[in-house]
Amino acid sequence: MSDLSRFRPRAVIFDLDGTIVDNMSWHAQAFDAFVARHRLPAMDMAMRERTDGKRNREIFPILFDREMTMAEIEALEEEKEGMYREISRGRLTPLTGLVPLLDRLDARGIAAGVATSGPRKNVAHTLAEIGLADRFQAIARGDQVAHGKPAPDVFLHAAQLLGVAPDACLAFEDAPLGIQAARHAGMHCVGVTSSYAPDLLRAVDPGPHATYADFQGFLDDVGEWLR
């Protein structure tokens, strides 16, 4: 595992849910209401580890334990994600240190992008709620690529949109499947421990180069060169 303190990225790519914003509790509330409505088993940690970071087109067949048409998936997505948007409205804030990090990236001419499994309406809602819709030069979504996380597609798409080679990118991720996706893309990766314990993220194979509770922890440590 390389020394992250020596790495100087040309672009930084952020996962959205659980990384840019600590919003997984609102997603959990929406999922709890959704599975109760459909009389499905509760979303325990084992199920979260299987699904966090995946696209809805992959999550719903797991929850319902059957193959589904895209029409079914789209209807269920609108139901569940509509709940999330309603529950989270007025309650979202950027993760600690994100805005200072974006400011320092801007000052150094380092591009910032998003690589998310979230659907278009959620991406627009979440970035608007935290007032950062115009702070990213590229947004890559899972519904724009062939394979979802842990495949590298969405991170590779983000790097392509930014015009930066994947191995010159630094990724921030909060979920094990997302960390694997970033690493499979050939990127350096920081694990953000807003959703999972540090030991669990470090156990991922391939794992993150470092873990921090938030972006301020990164800036205070290996990110000091951005000051």
15 catalytic? Reply is: yes
Domains and CATH numbers, the chain: 4-23+93-226 (3.40.50.1000), 24-88 (1.10.150.240)
Q: What is the DSSP string of 30-55?
A: HHHHHHHHTTPPP--HHHHHHHTTS-
Whether residue 153 contacts residue 134, with contact meaning beta carbons closer than 8 Å, is answered with no
Q: Which residues of 183-212 are buried (b: 16+ CB within 10 A; e: fewer)?
A: bbbebbbbbbbbbbeeeebbebeebbbbbb
Distance CA 149, CA 178 (A): 6
Distance CA 154, CA 169 (A): 13
Q: Which of 3, 15, 32, 221 is catalytic?
A: 15
Question: What tens-digit pLDDT sequence spans the chain (227 residues)?
Answer: 457 989 999 999 999 999 999 999 999 999 999 999 999 999 998 998 899 999 999 999 999 999 999 999 999 999 999 999 999 999 999 999 999 999 999 999 999 999 999 999 999 999 999 999 999 999 999 999 999 999 999 999 999 999 999 999 999 999 999 999 999 999 999 999 999 999 999 999 999 999 999 999 999 999 999 98
The reported pLDDT for the residue numbered 3 is: 77
Q: What is the pTM of this model?
A: 0.93
Distance CA 144, CA 155 (A): 11
Distance CA 35, CA 28 (A): 10
Beta-strand pair 169-173/11-14: parallel
